[in-house]
Structure 1
């Protein structure tokens, strides 16, 4: 199996793991009736479904990081977004019901558009890493995310959720790029223990250690500020746009760019964005947000 195919498979497994983790944790929370944060957490820790969801989330994060080292950033990160699509049928199975015709149609449309993008783009792997570009891109993206956050805080309701969603999307896309860059800068010629130590010694790793939790907190703030449909589409679209831009500029991962390919790629991404927006308004996805 080629490295790119390995990265694609790992990304799909990771996306499924994240979707299943969210569904399991929501079901566990729904079944716990204790009051107070401390007692609620203790009750969750005694719930196998919630514990399994936490383990799946950690395993999926590791698989995502490994997928970024094998595969191309411009492929792996769009595939991770497919977890939103997978969440709908997973939620229906856990609820022991059939997805509605609308949910089925939107899932099929979004998944098909994502598959079309991957089939047409066929990006080439760059021969070098442009660290100077990374040194410019990273602070620029962080400033952009901060601006979205500041503007969101100055507004209210749905507009605040929009701003926070944009900011979280930028951070998540940048975090993916930093995860891949940490593997590129590390010496991975030894055993797994020395590889881990080498990765921890790179500056992108510590950027991820800060940006990752910051993105999660900003995402949760977006959920609290407004409905899921106000933040989730922006978050996932900016996540993909920032990660693809990072992959092209820093790793020189260039998708096919003749006129026809660009037209199909652009159309596919627009359809994926529309599908995510429609999915964010379905009950199956809305209940997973908290």
Structure 2
């Protein structure tokens, strides 16, 4: 593996030695200018992201799971992305999983030596009973973190799909995976502090992976989160708004549809747009794997003939 000091993520910015002498507003502007380069760097790997999404969707269509594995910031970002999938997309527990080196304790405290524990990565994946239908995304700014690397290598041996998300080109992690996504954001404002630009790039790519996968799996209807779980008042208001936007129905009708369907947004939309009752809406969605658009097309095609 390439030596750590030679990696772009470990480099030192030109002019960085004097940043502590800048005024606070000047320092904020410098940092903001550095941060603005991140979306462009992510944009350069869009084809690689798209290819990974299509491969992940194919595996998940066979009943597979999406698993992120990383250490430190990278691992925490994976856990964050995974934890947002159930409320946003109504995913079942365990469909999207985040593994962080050091376990749950590493979410709120630094467990720095855990990133070197290759055996722990293997054990964490084995605890999930990984199968060939699953996908493992190793996340590492350096692209050489032992925990992430071991996770990808072990997953590939088991036949799972493997994806590398790294911050350096030609990374060992990329070499180990079937799909490589290497976002080069260069030296950090604070040399080697990859929670900054590299971490931001990882967050953007993880957003893309989970969101685009869920769109392709039919967990949305257009840009609407129709699989949202309304577990608090804010989300109940959002659910009513989503149904309204999808159907243009009157508020009273929206509330009645949501009540009839037990708060299930997709079912309520189908009920309002087609006139079917709640059991028929549920059956239609089950027949089409939860894809609202496909269920609507079936009803429309039957009406036409």
For normalisation by structure 1, the TM-score amounts to 0.24
Greater per-residue helix proportion: 1
Greater per-residue strand proportion: 2
